[in-house]
A and B are shown apart, each in its own frame.
Chain A
Amino acid sequence: MSTTTSAVRSHAEAVQVSRTVDYLGLFILFMVLTGSYHIHGMLTMGDWDFWSDWKDRRLWVTVYPIVMITFPAAVQAVAWERLRLPWGATICILGILFGEWVNRYFNFWGWTYFPINFVFPTAAVHMAIFLDVVLMLSGSFLFTAVIGGLGWGLLMYPGNWPIIAPLHVPVEYNGMLMSLADISGYHYVRTGTPEYIRMVEKGTLRTFGKDVAPVSAFFSGFMSILIYFLWHFVGRWFGTVKFVKKT
């Protein structure tokens, strides 16, 4: 067989080869995203995602969407532009959540015995599906950046509230008011993570009374729009074929 002859001899064989390429490609894509997006996530929003006593209504809401819209924007740029596949964001989030759950279950719980209710990751599939659906229905990266990016930021907190609300029930503990999440952070000793490292409830956003989360979410949404544009071009640059010689 030379380079100019076909590797397959029939249509059925071509279909079979094509599907094999699909499954191999999907597996590789999923595992590469699991690893690379996971590293990116841990380096940028690590502790906010690790611990329930970091999941606050200000910084978690702000930081998580901004730093996590990166890979979805880049993968969408390639998957939609080259293949018209509308699941670029969702595959990223499924990958990182798979990696995070493996890490939290086997490492945080199985190895160091932190309870799962203290170390669960942030739910983000709803944000990713929204981003993908907006891209598919609009077919426009500009529209996806503005509406999808804003929705990405806005949906994060309400989508996670059913998971974290039970941990925000108040407790009077040795004369101090603490949430159950605060008590988890106090009880389950993190020798290398002293309390002052915790970046929660900091900032000057005090003019909206107790309704801080929506303002943080809007800010996060606006920033997500900008980061979406930036990482869209990272994706295009990463997905270029101009260095491949045409035969």
Chain B
Amino acid sequence: MKTIRDRLTRWSLVGLLMTLAAAVMYTPTASAHGEKSQAAFLRMRTIHWFDLNWSTDQVGVNEEMEISGKFHVFEGWPEAVDPPEVSFLNIGIPGPVFIRKESYIGDTFVPRSVRLEIGKTYTFRVVLKARRPGEWHVHPMLNVEGGGPIIGPGKWVTITGSFAEFRNPVTTLTGQTVDLETYNEGNIWFWHVLWYAIGVAWVVYFVRNPVFIPRLLMVNAGRGDELITPTDKKVGMLFGAATILLVIFGYSSAQSKYPVTIPLQAGVLRGIKPIDMPAPTVEVKVDEATYRVPGRAMKMVLTVTNNGDRPIQLCEFMTASVRFMNPEVCEDESGYPEDLLADEGLTVVPNDPIGPGETKTIEVTASDAAWEVYRLSDIIYDPDSRMGGMLFFYDDAGNRQIVIVDAPLIPTFM
């Protein structure tokens, strides 16, 4: 018996030490949002974020920054995801490290959920005010009821300064300016501490006398009624009356101190205006789309017809916020997050300009480690194996044409 006890003690001690060591020596910070864990089809075939701009990547506490850009609600919206009839423009950050001062879709201020239309493109803008110092991954995000969060590309932003200096002034319609960071806190503590103290007093009054064994014996002996004395009843009446009076007093004093109050505001905002995207003068037919699993590469055979009056070239293929660039045609100058930018990731054969009126079949290969890093290669395990994305063509004058592609995707394993 003693041997078993000694062993148990020893191994318990070893376990405790290992737990402590693991906790002390390896405590990574969770600072991103699991965007790589989202099903690939959700990122490839729902919301396409583009023309994004983060106004800065370093900001001081109390200073503001802005994320702006466009998002396209993909025509080939998957059946498994509810349509975006109730959606909310959100921001993906690890807790309120920023506060969201303003957010707009088009010109409409959107503090609430909105209805979006499939196939349309919207501009958006979010103004953030820095609150907590640190380095944070900041994403635009669209939550879709029945679909979950659809997160856009994230960029690291550094907040400098002191959290203690953060202020959040708001002016009410009654003319009072309050700091929402600490407003009403004293009142909250006062009422909670007061009620808690009254509750403790009520319990302590009865706990002064024996609690369990003698009372149990008395009740079992049929003398339970003797345990509640007339004094106890008077104290009970006192507590009951004081409680009701305090509730009435608190309610009426709050009413007189805050005569103007409104209910919480809620409801879906409708009538959000999309932007008019110019109809592309480029027609693209996807003849074939394959994903080569060992090579982490997606190959598309496209028949491209240029109905415009200037020669065009394919510059970029963008899907799930990963941008595959054709380096012989263009490069990114917007400071797009590096991990999502395959700046030499797009190969086009033949890579010559497609002249006005010309139809050409081209072979486009999008290859980069991002397929694996962002777990987009998992698309071959999706229940509806299709790919979707945006093709960006440019003419020799720098004009852009955007074409949406949506086609079945066949995996190859050789």
- Which A residues contact B (CB, under 8 angstroms)? 15, 18-19, 21-22, 25-26, 53-57, 81-87, 90-91, 93-94, 97, 101, 112-117, 120-121, 123, 125-126, 128-130, 132-134, 136-137, 139, 155, 158-159, 161-163, 165-184, 186-192, 194-196, 198, 200-202, 210, 212
Contact = CB atoms under 8 A, between A and B. Distances in A.
B240 A130 contact: yes
Among B192, B216, B218, residue most surrounded by chain A Cβ atoms (within 10 Å): B192
B261 A158 contact: no
A226 B40 CA distance: 48
B307 to A, nearest CB: 41
24 contacts: A22-B210, A25-B212, A53-B264, A82-B216, A83-B219, A113-B163, A114-B96, A115-B185, A117-B188, A120-B192, A126-B246, A132-B236, A133-B236, A137-B237, A163-B188, A166-B184, A168-B261, A170-B172, A170-B174, A170-B261, A180-B170, A183-B180, A194-B113, A196-B268
B145 interface: yes
B239 A21 contact: no
Nearest to B227: A84
B102 interface: yes
Contact of A22 (B96, B100, B207): B207
B206 interface: yes
Majority secondary structure, B binding face:
mixed
A178 B265 contact: yes
B262 A179 contact: yes
Given A137-B240, A178-B265, A196-B268, A84 B228 contact: yes
B145 A196 contact: yes
A106 B195 CA distance: 21
Interface string B98-142: 111110000001011100000000000000000110000000010
A165 B257 CA distance: 9
B202 A132 contact: yes
B90 interface: yes
A194 B227 contact: no
A194 B170 contact: no
B243 interface: yes
B142 to A, nearest CB: 9
Interface stretch (B248-256, B271-279, B332-340): B248-256
Given A94-B203, A166-B258, A182-B265, A129 B240 contact: yes
Contact of B143 (A120, A129, A166, A194): A194
B263 A117 contact: no
B149 A194 contact: yes
A189 B96 contact: yes
Given A26-B207, A112-B95, A86 B236 contact: yes
Contacts of B202: 87, 90, 129, 132
Contacts of A25: 211-212
Nearest to B103: A186
Contacts of B131: 113
B266 interface: yes
B380 interface: no
Contacts of A182: 111, 264-265
Contacts, number: 275
Nearest to B95: A112
Contacts of A15: 210
Given A101-B192, A113-B96, A132-B202, 16 more contacts: A22-B213, A83-B219, A93-B199, A123-B195, A126-B243, A133-B236, A165-B254, A166-B184, A168-B264, A182-B265, A187-B96, A189-B99, A191-B91, A191-B93, A191-B95, A191-B141
B247 A159 contact: yes
Nearest to A128: B199
Nearest to B87: A196
Contacts of B244: 130, 155
Sorting the interface of chain B by its residue count into under 10, 10 to 19, 20 to 34 or 35 or more gives 35 or more
A18 B210 contact: yes
A189 B136 CA distance: 14
A183 to B, nearest CB: 6
Interface string B181-224: 11111011001100110111011001100111111101100001
B240 to A, nearest CB: 4
Contacts of A195: 88, 111-113, 143
B96 A188 contact: yes
A133 B188 CA distance: 25
A144 to B, nearest CB: 12
Contact of B199 (A18, A129, A188): A129
A86 B91 contact: no
Contact of B91 (A21, A97, A176, A189): A189
B172 A180 contact: yes
Contacts of A112: 95-96
A177 B265 contact: yes
Contacts of B183: 117, 166, 180
Nearest to A188: B96
Contact of B248 (A82, A158, A170, A188): A158
A129 B243 contact: yes
Given A101-B192, A178-B111, A192-B149, A125 B207 contact: no
B99 A187 contact: yes
Nearest to B102: A174
Contacts of A134: 240
B212 A196 contact: no
B251 A187 contact: no
A168 B184 contact: no
Among A101, A114, A134, A184, residue most surrounded by chain B Cβ atoms (within 10 Å): A184
